[in-house]
Structure 1
Amino acid sequence: MIYLFVFIIGIIFGSFLNVCIYRIPRGLSIITPPSSCPICKTRIKWYDNIPILSYIFLKGKCRNCKSNIPIKHPIVELFGGLIALCVFLKFGFALQSVFWAIFGYCLLTLSFIDLELFIIPDVINVLLLIFGFLFAIYNGAIIESLIGGVFGFVLFYALAVIFSKLLKQEALGFGDVKLLGTVGVWTSWVGVLYTVFVASLTGSIAGILLVFLFGKNFKAKIPFGPFLALSAFSYIFFGKELMHFFYGI
């Protein structure tokens, strides 16, 4: 029952993240007005705004105009529940669980924004930076956090410049650079190395699979932010152990 309660709280936060994903990159308030259909502008009733279940009951369509509700809505809500559950299973009822849940929710939000619009809003990186330093103060690791932040930013900025010159086009967005800096604040320089390695590996695998599925002419742009986000979040659970096992750090 406790796990179910945590999961339900998580999908409720996931529902709010859907609002953030839509409104933040468009410069809209995440508080007002209440949620409404983006097509017909009809305000969504509370019983049509129940995470995951409402999408199922409405068969993925607006009750009023019958326009399709993006499938990403229940997916984000589901991920919101899984993030809360995973953090709880790892840390239990503790203040650090709140911090790591915030970390996960920020990463989830920026991932879906990046997937849709190929941008990582500065406001999310700023939130990650603020809460990251607060978490470092709570853990008494402010120096380690600062080193990790600088290391992540400088490393990725250097990679962005080098690959952009080699490829003669922008290889990495500056939002990715800032994101890796904030990841360093949360996970230290070791977490940065882990995140870069795992994100590069998973990104390459995803690219190969897409080419395999759609052929050699596949030219679609693939945002790197979601791979960084997933890799950074996975570091919480087994990153330290893997880095110590393989590299002794």
Structure 2
Amino acid sequence: MISFIVGAVMGSFWCVVADRLPLRMNFWSDRSRCSTCQRPLAFYDLIPIISFIALKGNCRHCHQAIPRHIFVAEWIYGLFFCYLFSFSTATLETKLVALVWFTMAFSLSITDWLYQIIDPYLLYPFAIILWAVLLWQRAAFSWWTWLLFFCIYWYGQRHWYFIGDGDLLLFFIWFPWLRWQQIHLLLFLASGTGILYYLLFLFSKRQPPKHLPFVPFLSIGLSACLFL
């Protein structure tokens, strides 16, 4: 239970970072505000999960809906943290790698979902930390995979319009550290869940989004690779 609470708090923090950093807003010292009325929120309005339920998903002041992605993000990171530190039998070193990698994917997923971008202010620091941790752990690195996806990134930037440059760069950063079986699983799950998400719009007779954020679906595939 304690690990879930800690995870929910951390998920709330990373959600704030992912919300504000692409807008170049201060995420460290500025008080949280309602996204609609801009009134500062009291500490009891910021308790992860509990405050959202107590307020029935609406701002205490203007009664407009609180963004649902915050509630979902707190649950996801809380469950991840609870599993990693309460149920997983992996070594501490392996847990550290999973924590850094999942946090990177989690934060980038939120920015991609909200703004359809992969913010370099999040991507590059996380990439440096991830590679440093993996090198410290002496994880297997495939130069052939690195070279292949470097070529794919270089070619895709110039000739492909169906996938964003940020997604290609993420392939280049993540995939050399994964086995080919894991890469296949990641891409299969990412593509499959992305297609299912798109079909939900069609079946519900709603207009599908023009630009589908792909990083959240890549993160689903990555999570399977990290924990299966």
Interval containing the TM-score (normalised by the shorter chain): 0.7 to 0.9
- 1:91 offset after TM fit, Å? 4.3
Q: How do residues 105-144 of structure 1 correspond to structure 2 at under 5 angstroms?
A: 105-141=103-139, 144=141
- Which of 163, 167, 173 lines up with 1:172 in the alignment? 163
**Alignment pair present for 1:36 and 2:53:** no
The answer on whether the counterparts of 2:141 and 2:177 sit within 8 Å (CA) in structure 1 is no
1:135, distance to aligned residue in structure 2 (A): 2.0
Write the deviation string for residues 42-71 of structure 1: whole angstroms up to 9, x where unpaired: 222111110000011111122223222111
Q: Distance in 2 between matches of 1:138 and 1:26?
A: 33
SS in 1 for 2:48: coil
Deviation at 1:105?
Answer: 1.9
Q: Cα gap change, 1:78/1:218 in structure 2, threshold over 3 Å: closer, same or farther?
A: closer
Q: Percent identity?
A: 26
- The within-5 A match list for 1:47-66 is 47-66=44-63
- Is the 2:7–2:81 Cα contact (8 Å) retained in structure 1? yes
User: Which is worse superposed, 120-129 or 82-91?
Assistant: 82-91
Structure 2 counterpart of 1:184, from 157, 175, 187? 175
Q: Report if aligned partners of 1:125, 1:178 keep a CA contact under 8 Å in 2.
A: no
| Cα drift, residue 83 of structure 1 | 1.6
Letter in 2 for 1:23: R
Structure number with higher relative contact order (C-alpha < 8 Å, ≥ 6 residues apart): 2
Structure 2 CA distance for aligned equivalents of residues 150 and 5 of structure 1: 43
Kept in 1, the 8 Å contact 2:198–2:208? The answer is no
> Which residue of the other structure, out of 96, 99, 102, is the alignment partner of 1:98?
96
Q: Distance in 1 between matches of 2:146 and 2:59?
A: 43
Amino acid in the other structure paired with 2:183: V
Name segments (4+ residues, structure 1) moved above 4 Å.
145-150, 156-162
- Larger proportion of helix: 1
Assess, with a 3 A threshold, how the Cα gap between structure 1 residues 175 and 104 changes in structure 2: closer, same or farther.
same
The equivalent residue for 1:231 is 221
CA separation of 1:18/1:213 partners in 2, compared to 1, >3 Å: closer, same or farther?
A: same
TM-score (normalizing by structure 1): 0.79
Report whether the alignment pairs 1:222 with 2:212: yes
Partner of 1:26: 23
Could you tell me how far 1:8 is from its partner in structure 2? 1.0
1:244 — aligned with what? none
Larger deviation, residues 145-154 vs 194-203 = 145-154
Unaligned runs of 5+ in 1: 165-169, 239-249
Matched residue SS, 2:64: coil
Change in Cα spacing, 1:237 to 1:158, as seen in structure 2 (3 Å) is farther
**TM-score w.r.t. structure 2 length?**
0.86
Deviations 1:200-238 (A, max 9, x none): 2322333334323327x7463322121112111211122
